[in-house]
Amino acid sequence: MTTATEITDTTVREATEWLFTEAELLDAGKYREWLDLVAEDLSYVVPLRVTREREAETDIVEGLTLMDDDWDSMEMRVLRLETEYAWAEDPPSRSRHFVTNIRVAAGEAEDEVAVKSNLLLYRTRGDVATFDILSGERHDVLRRVAGGYRLAKRVVVLDQTTVMTHNLALIM
Amino acid sequence: MSLLDDHVVTGTGLVDEDTGRGRFRVHRCAMTAPEVLNRELAEIFNRCWLYVGHTSEVTEPGDYVRRSVGGRPVFMVRARKSGQVKVFHNTCPHRGAVVCRADTGNTKIFQCFYHAWTFDTEGRLTGMPGRDAYEGGADFAELSLREVARVEEYRGFVFACYDPEAVDLVTYLGQAREYLDLVVDAMGEPEIVAGSNQYSINANWKLLVENSIDGYHGPSTHDTYIKYIVSQGTDIRSGAGGGNAGYDLGNGHGVIEYGAPWGRPIAKWDPLFGENARPGMEQTAQDLARRFGESRGHAMTHTNRNLLIFPNLVINDIMAVTVRTLMPTAAGHVEVNAWQLAPRDEAEDVRAQRLDSFLTFLGPGGFATPDDLEALESCQQGFASGGVEWSDISRGMGRDRAKHDDEEQIRAFWRQWQAVVEGSAR
């Protein structure tokens, strides 16, 4: 029998703290530690959006995506950044994850919570006097495990149709 | 005005080929000078055949997609009465507003919201408020949507050309056709997968042209990608002996062909596809060999090809089939659009792996394309340093038969580029 978790103040606080800790690790480039927060059945998807008329049901494309990762490819992403050959992110860009509007709801499984958050990701690289900003909504599934939560699923809905940054070789 | 200034304004003398010395070089102002870009817009993007889209994107009557072609807003629609694929300038013949304002959809009419002029999908002006005010003799045919001067299709690939005097598309494609044929024949009935990856690069567009058909940079730039697929069980030795070659296909088109060191979703099985997909893919390989002969069948299933159709269409038939267009917005900035082409009847798991392979290599967050973009931006930054006037593109010039990691196919592009930009190709 599966019953949805009751969302208590404690759950909200724990999920919020999890997101903030995650952001800190990502901005500090501690990707290996970040991987420890990720479930082995991870699904990480960045869908495409297109410009449609208002009456269209959705502007999210079913077909091609911008990113579609699992644990293996995420681990490889981290391994890649640890080599001397990840030219696109070496020297690395400087990033800051601003995580707001956190909404916690019951997940589909008893040990999961569904967490929505707004993300503003600021990024600069080298001495260039301009910056990139990515804005989007993250739809996460956090799974409760001994000693905390693991990220089981993330969908990042970006507020743009064209990628407005150097690359997406970073974790949102 | 210095000699160089003169070259920049007239677009001449920017490519220097000396076969005696085995030297081919391109002046770097071809990548940096705004004057050169102006000549390119006038001589290349206003005169050459440019890719618009694929017929599979507009299968139903009234289906449309909005595109930027050669930097101009246009749209492609499957006309409801004639069934023809038409490409219109996206501007109201009345006072100018765009009439197609969404990326994709299906419609019975296009209406300019400014004064509510209405056009059917054939482009005909069918209505306007207060028609009686035009009783003085307005020519309604003349006030219909304007089709792009030339629109032709080759096996589903729709091209447009703004020059009414241009040669026909088949003549223009020339020898490049047989490489398009390989892609299409291998798939049977190809379709564009919904959606495209759009991004931009702070580099000259021709650097991405070069990069797209450059077999030389793979091992150095894409080390981490190769390591990734090896870790997933791919045997990269499987690509050895694949008849590696680079070809000048005439008219500025070029191609490299090489044995695929990785799986190919048509029919070169690889552990990444999973055991379930194996029998079906092996069957497809046999079927293609039977239909098209061993050699051509093998080329479809096991050989990679990166094809450039002059000036700005790239078809990478590698671990997925990417259709990519590039368009400069400034000498140091290019906008890129990348679609996926796949067989319409493809098995679900093979399709999923195809899209995953595309993203893993060619996606904006993939393990390869970000490094390519880094390289191109790095070149553009390097040009600003000066001191070195010419880039060298001589690799393999002495050989009778160019290899895929030589630069013959890149020279093919540059020779035509020079002829078109200086006006001697006409």
Helix (H, G, I), strand (E, B) or coil at B236: helix
Pair (B86, B149) in one structural domain = yes
Kindly state the tokens that stand for B259: 């044995």
Sign of the alpha-carbon torsion through A82, A85, A88, A94: positive
Which of the residues B369, B374, B377, B381 would you substitute to probe the A interface, choosing the one with the greatest number of A C-beta atoms within 10 Å?
Answer: B374
Option in A64, A85, A86 nearest B193 (CB): A64
B237 occurs within a structural domain: yes
Do residues B151 and B206 share a domain? no
Q: Where are the beta strands (DSSP E) in A70-147?
A: 94-106, 112-124, 132-145
Residue B367 in contact with residue B282, Cβ under 8 Å? no
Has residue B11 got a pLDDT over 50? yes
**How do residues A99-146 score in pLDDT, each as one tens digit?**
999 999 999 999 999 999 999 999 999 888 899 999 999 999 999 999
**Of the residues B165, B187, B220, which one is the last residue of a structural domain?**
B165
Render pLDDT for B343-400 as a digit per residue (tens, 0 to 9): 999 989 889 989 999 998 888 888 899 999 999 999 999 999 999 999 999 999 989 8
Query: For A61, which of B194, B224, B363 is closest by C-beta distance?
Result: B194
Residue type, position A37, single letter: L
Task: State yes or no: ipTM above 0.95.
Answer: no
**Whether residues B299 and B403 fall in one domain:** yes
The DSSP H or E segment spanning B5 is: helix B3-10
Which of chain B's residues have a Cβ under 8 Å away from the Cβ of A73?
Answer: 228, 360
Q: Where are the beta strands (DSSP E) in B202-312?
A: 245-248, 254-259, 303-309
In B84-139, which ranges are E strands? 85-89, 104-106, 109-112, 117-120, 125-127
Q: Which of B134, B180, B167, B207 is nearest to B323 (CA)?
A: B180
Containing domain of residue B95, as a range? Answer: 50-165
CATH no. for residue B397?
3.90.380.10
Question: Domain end: B138, B165, B192, which one?
Answer: B165
Least confident residue range of B140-144, B242-246, B252-256, B383-387:
B242-246
pLDDT digits (tens, 9 = 90+) for B204-238: 999 999 999 999 998 889 888 888 888 888 888 88
Query: Is B125 in the same domain as B269?
Result: no
| B37 in any annotated domain | no
Same domain, B346 and B272: yes
Q: Does B150 share its domain with B204?
A: no
Kindly state whether residue B43 falls inside one of the protein's structural domains.
no
- Inside any domain, residue B215: yes
Q: Is residue B42 part of a domain?
A: no
In this structure, the answer to whether residues B295 and B314 fall within a common structural domain is: yes
In chain B, the number of structural domains is 2
Are B61 and B122 part of one and the same domain? Answer: yes
Pairing of strands A38-49, A148-158: parallel
The enclosing domain of B161 has a CATH number of 2.102.10.10
% of chain A with per-residue pLDDT over 90: 72
| B131: nearest Cα among B122, B121, B140 | B140
- Predicted model pTM: 0.94
| Helix (DSSP H) and strand (DSSP E) numbers for chain B | 13, 21
Q: How far apart are CA A72 and CA B2, in angstroms?
A: 57
Assess whether B413 and B303 both reside in one domain: yes
Q: Which of A58, A75, A89, A168 to mutate to test the interface with B (most CBs of B within 10 A)?
A: A168
Sequence-distant (6+) residues with CB within 8 A of B284 are: B266, B267, B301
Inter-chain CB proximity B195 and A68 less than 8 Å: no
Are B233 and B293 members of one domain? yes
Beta bridge partners, A121, equal A97, A134
Q: What is the pLDDT of residue A5?
A: 63
B230 and B291 both lie in a single domain: yes
- Asked if B151 and B233 sit in the same domain, the reply is no
